[in-house]
Amino acid sequence: MNQADFAKLHSVSRKTVTQWKARGWLVIAGGEIDVEASNANIERYRKTVTQPGKTGTGNKKGNGAGGNCQGNKLPTTLEGETSEQAAHRIIATEGATMSMDEALRVKENYLALLRQLEYEQKSGALVEMELAEKILFEQARAQRDAWLNWPTRVGPLLAAELGLEADRVTGVLADYVHRHIAQLGAPEEEVEFSEKG
């Protein structure tokens, strides 16, 4: 097939076909364009693909239960896997043979997810794990210190009200507070946190 017929086949100008040829997208065999191989290259490299023989009827099934749309199903990272390792695994298993449109779609989806993460961090919806741990640790320490100081503050007042020895009441309260803190520090069952992946 010559360049003019190939341009008609794709509903583009001959100038566009000449540009495709300059880019190396056209496969020329014996002075003629190899249509099948050239179409494969165009589908792979061109941002918007015009496929000959397809009508513009669109998706009549939509995204409902009868449709075949899988949506933007993005690959996920495995447990303990870094983003870089996930990228290498995905390329090794799925290959890097997607069309330019598909690659741009995947890129835009990931960029959208990064922007969403950035927005959530800046808006305060997300908190750094290290900061949260530090705040919780400081709060727990403050509570513990308040409990440890409570017997010396309340013991003499309680002893005066009951007419007992202040040192003895303070010592008994301190023992019970220490037992209480020991129970709080040793949870009865393990709690597992799962990372959202």
Model confidence at 138: pLDDT above 80? yes
Predicted local confidence at residue 159, as pLDDT: 93
Predicted local confidence at residue 145, as pLDDT: 93
Q: What's the mean pLDDT in 171-186?
A: 89
Q: How far apart are CA 81 and CA 134, in angstroms?
A: 26
Label each residue of the chain as H, E or C: CCHHHHHHHHCCCHHHHHHHHHHCCCCEECCEECHHHHHHHHHHHCCCCCCCCCCCCCCCCCCCCCCCCCCCCCCCCCCCCCHHHHHHHHHHHHCCCCCHHHHHHHHHHHHHHHHHHHHHHHHCCCCCHHHHHHHHHHHHHHHHHHHHHHHHHHHHHHHHHHCCCHHHHHHHHHHHHHHHHHHHHCCCCCCCCCCCC
- Give Dmax (Cα) for the chain: 114
Predicted local confidence at residue 63, as pLDDT: 46
Predicted local confidence at residue 51, as pLDDT: 52
Q: What's the mean pLDDT in 57-66?
A: 48
pLDDT digits (tens, 9 = 90+) for 93-121: 766 666 677 778 888 988 999 999 889 88
Q: How far apart are CA 27 and CA 38, in angstroms?
A: 5
Q: List, in order, residues 6 or more apart from 171 with CB less than 8 Å away.
A: 151, 155
Give me the sign of the Cα torsion angle 89, 91, 92, 95.
Answer: positive
Q: Which residue has the higher pLDDT, 164 or 58?
A: 164
Contact between residue 44 and residue 22 where contact means Cβ atoms under 8 Å apart: no
Q: What's the mean pLDDT in 150-173?
A: 93
Predicted local confidence at residue 152, as pLDDT: 93
Q: Which residue has the higher pLDDT, 126 or 112?
A: 112
Confidence of residue 173 (pLDDT cuts 50, 70, 90): very high
Predicted local confidence at residue 176, as pLDDT: 94
Confidence of residue 148 (pLDDT cuts 50, 70, 90): very high
Which of 12, 39, 14 is CA-nearest to residue 26? 39
Q: What is the pTM of this model?
A: 0.38
Q: How far apart are CA 156 and CA 171, in angstroms?
A: 10
Mean pLDDT over all residues of the chain?
79
pLDDT digits (tens, 9 = 90+) for 8-50: 888 888 888 888 888 888 888 888 888 888 888 888 777 655 5
Share of residues in the chain with pLDDT > 90 (%) = 26
